Amino acid sequence: MRTLRLGLAQINTTVGDLDGNAAKVLEYVVRARELGVDLLSFPEMTITGYPPEDLLLRPQFIRDNLAVLQRVVKGCQGITAVVGFVDRDHDVHNAAAIIHDGRLVDVYHKQFLPNYGVFDENRYFQAGTRCPVYVVAGIGVGANICEDIWYPDDPMRAQAHAGAQVIININGSPYHMGKRRFREHMLATRASDYSVFICYTNQVGGQDELVFDGASMVVSPWGEVLAQAAAFEEELLICDLDVEETFQARLHEPRRRRQRVASGASTSVARVHVSDDPLAEKKPPVKRRLARSTGDDAEVYSALVLGTRDYLLKNGFQKAVIGLSGGIDSSLVAAVAVDAIGRENVVGVAMPSRFSSEGSIKDARELADRLGIQLMTIPIEEPFSAFLDLLSDAFADTEFGVAEENIQSRIRGLIIMALSNKFGWLVLATGNKSEMATGYATLYGDMAGGFAVIKDVPKTLVYRLARYRNGLGPKPVIPESVIEKEPSAELRPDQRDVDTLPAYKTLDSILEAYVEEDKSVDAIAGMGFDEELVKRVMTMVDRNEYKRRQAPPGVKISPRAFGRDRRLPMANRYKGF
């Protein structure tokens, strides 16, 4: 039996921290070498962090990344490694370095450059054309990058047909709900189609609005997941591959012979010799690792925690401040913040007005007590009255309305930003996706902040996540009264969200159809919704694009988030729903 010990280094890199990323690579090299790993793979663009965006337009950034790569190469003694970086070879390439025992053996250039959703790689890179097969410890290995494996074609087809028994695919694949299942199905299909092992190494961590979930895995030629790392955590996943399985799988699929002949006639694949025998002499026994899959709510909550933690820490913030209204949104954000950076680093601020109910004030206090966070109480009645007096002449002969409601919200925004300026705390905004979609939020008021934790989380999912979080510990952290009470902005007497918006269950279904799926009025009405209501919701979404452009960034958890994925003009007269 010929075995190859694979290591998948699922690490959390930071964009632009070239030295820090390199140090992490070398740390994992030492760990893998001690465990007798023959071939160790790292995520896409390991050296630079992913995605570096317009840093790639700076020649010095590319030169510095190449210099750091050379240090990494020298540090990879006694092991073979695949490390992502940015190459410069007549043009700029998203690349993988093939390193063996302290020397750079070859470089692979990514061929399929995604240019949709959150991806913009055609802006920066030239596509590669080579499909090498590397002989590592006498075994044929193909290496490619992220998008390359999503297509049932070259480079993977050419590598497999040229004798690759193992495919190393390095990734920066961001999370959204449902993607993990889709990804596993795709990899199982590719592995069984080409009778190869697929070693899928994904990065983990938050980068601005993106969260990378890791969940790296090894898939057999039969489409079975042999090993899988945890989601949302750094991990070194080790797996021993019996490469005779690829030969056996191909014997059971004789049609592959015809495909290999046809492929060989049309595609020239270089074979690059790396090594005949494993460098590692001792191979301590390792147990097969299969991380337990979790449900959507657990995954989304973990993504929010990781995205919030990394945004704070990677930007140099130690503490966060949150306006606590006693409502469900701010309660969930506070729970996420505590889980992300610790209760001692989270400050809540209650800012009651003449319209704040006793129940909401009590709920904010109880939430702070349960979470164990500091709570500051700063009533806003005096400044609100002062503003009404200041504007009394300008507002003469008008009824109390939205302008007066929003003054309260803007006073709260001013207060919480003042605390941020004074103490260096990052303000976590608390608006959800349903509110952002319909414009049910106040510019320079409750939209003020540095990071909007739940801006991509619909209101109905907010409730599910609150109940999920309450089920994690010995006691619920979000009071049941917060979850059960009717939503209200509490900016006027007896105000309810349903006075302005449809019921959230209805609203979120319409929003998903329009925002996520671009369905027409007729199509959404055909789902059982009133046509005039559908038009009203669509109009609200389109009318409030200008607000969303001014909102802080936040964690992407849906397939189509505002800003990163869905980009519409603010000045837009098209009404052809």
Catalytic residues, which ones? 44, 110, 146
Structure tokens at 127: 């596509």
Other CB atoms closer than 10 Å to residue 513's CB: what's the count? 21
The answer to whether the CB of 45 falls within 8 A of the CB of 84 is yes
Other CB atoms closer than 10 Å to residue 386's CB: what's the count? 11
Sequence-distant (6+) residues with CB within 8 A of 258 are none
Cα 475 to Cα 494: distance, rounded to the nearest angstrom: 32
Cα 567 to Cα 413: distance, rounded to the nearest angstrom: 27
Radius of gyration over every alpha carbon of the chain, rounded to an integer in angstroms: 27
The answer to whether the CB of 84 falls within 8 A of the CB of 101 is no
Cα 293 to Cα 113: distance, rounded to the nearest angstrom: 30
Backbone angles phi, psi at 177, to 5 degrees: -55, 130
Cα 435 to Cα 553: distance, rounded to the nearest angstrom: 15
Other CB atoms closer than 10 Å to residue 416's CB: what's the count? 26
Cα 422 to Cα 416: distance, rounded to the nearest angstrom: 10
Helices (H), 431-477: 433-438, 459-470
Q: Can you say how many angstroms the Cα of residue 148 is from the centroid of all Cα atoms in its chain? A: 20
Other CB atoms closer than 10 Å to residue 374's CB: what's the count? 15
Other CB atoms closer than 10 Å to residue 193's CB: what's the count? 17
Mutual orientation of helices 381-390 and 402-423 as an angle, nearest 10°? Answer: 130
Q: Bridge-partner residues for 84, per DSSP?
A: 96
